[in-house]
Every structure is written in structure tokens, then in C-alpha cells.
Structure 1
Amino acid sequence: MTYLIIALIIAVALAPLLHFVPSKQQRAQARLRETAALAGLFVEFRDLPGLETRAGRVSAGERQVLYYGKRLAPSKGRAKRRGVWRRKGGDWAPVGGRENPPSILNELPPQILASSIDEASCGVYWREEGGVEMVEQIAHSLETWAQQN
């Protein structure tokens, strides 16, 4: 009986620690982000560009997506380039401009929602709906795109 009480007390004391154990989904996200970091990408939350607002209200879940970006070398002496493209029905459409999308965007997986380039980085917006292989494909495409600029 004494051992049972001691085991119960230990179980009650250790139960709150289970909240610190990552879930399966959290481990998968960490694996994706680690793969991105090892491939030279940075990851941050950003608002999805070109999001049409419904009556001016869009939830944070719809607005905030992850941006996987590749830093670009400083563009001294070259024209500053900015562009944003959003995937609509399988095709890439410019957001707030007329510039045609780079051909490299056609190599990206269909889970990519949007893409952008500015003087500091080029990258993609997505909801991390894929595996490590997809992150590697994204990293390869962004590396190729960065070398073209």
C-alpha cells in the first residue's frame, strides 16, 4: 500500500511535465524548419500578400503564414527589384504590379501560396503542408532564384 501511495504521488508530481513534451505535429514542424535552416533559409511569420479581405476582416489564421526565404547579396549598382506573385488556380499572378512571374516559380510545389522578392531576400509563403522533401525542393528553387538575381 505504501508503494502505491508513493507511486501515485510521483505520478501527480510528474504529470505537469508532460505539457513540455512536443506533440507529433510540433516535432514535424521543427524538423521542417531545421531542414530549412540547414539549407540556408530563414523562416518567419508574415502576412500573406494580396489577400482579398472580406468586409475588411480576415482572421490571423488566414492572414499569417510562414515565409521561407533566402537572403540575397546586396544589390549595389543594380536596379532594385521588388515583386510579389500569388498562386491562383495553378497560375502565378502579380500582386499590385504587372511584372511577369519568374519561370522558377513554376517548379515550386502546389502547396506554395505566394512568392516574393525584394532587395534583401526571395522566398515563398506556405502553411508547411508537406514533408522534408518539399522543403528541400523549395530550398533548391530559392537557391536557383537567388543566383539569377
Structure 2
Amino acid sequence: MRRAVIKLVIKLAVAIVALCAAISPTEAEVRILASPGGQVGPFLDLFEQVRASGERVVIDGPCLSACTLVLSIVPDSRICVTRRAVLGFHAARSIDGRGQMYAEPEASQAVLEAYPAAVRGWISRRGGLTSRLLLLRGRELAAIYPRCR
């Protein structure tokens, strides 16, 4: 169990470093190349900083789980997607002291309500947030967010 928690923390740290490394003041954009998600708190903090900075977010690869919170925090007008972009959504969940995962229905509802209407509608048409990963990509994603130039 301890080893699994350490691996999770390392994955989260790598994802955050990758996101932060993509911040380029000369380009004024944050490029998400690959984020598996992780603990919500660090993502909320990072995306609040991005929102306050005025930088544009380029989703250029997988943005899964907690990474999708960028859609709730950064204005839609400052988000664009490339052909490689994939957004992955699932229900909120936590891990108890014994390492067992359990559902967080209230958190799932709060997250769903925070997403922009077009994203909420897409998720709802696919059965809502469940333990199953829903992947939004390609034409469906480009119908919601503009392609990056």
C-alpha cells in the first residue's frame, strides 16, 4: 500500500512538473502534453495561477481526471485543443486509510456542475460521471473547444 501511494505521488509530481515546464512567458501559454490526473488540490492551485496569469491553455495530449478541472477554472476563451488532445472524465473517488477506493457522489456532482455547459451535456449524454473513463476527443472535442493555431 505504501509503495502504491509513493508511486501515485511521484506520478502526480511528474505531471505537475510537466505542466509547469510547459509555461513559457514569451509564448504566454501553458501546454498540457500528458497528464494522468491525480490529487485535485495541486491541479486546482496550478489552474488558479494560470487563470490569474492570463495565459492561454493548449491541450496537446491526454488531460485526464483532475487535469480536466482546467475547463472549470480557466475561461473557455483561453483554451484551445490540438488534434492530439484527449479529455478523460470519471466520477470523483478517494482512498481510505486501508488503500481502498470509494466513490464520492457529492464531489462528482460538484465537479460536473463546475464544467462548462457543453462539456456537462456531453458527459450527461454518455451516462454521467461513473467509474468508467469517458474520453472526449476528435471532432466532438473540436465542436466544444477551438483548434489551436
TM-score (norm 1): 0.24
Structure with greater strand share of residues:
1
Q: Whose radius of gyration is greater, 1 or 2? A: 1
TM-score (norm 2): 0.24
Higher relative contact order (CA 8 A, sep 6+): 1
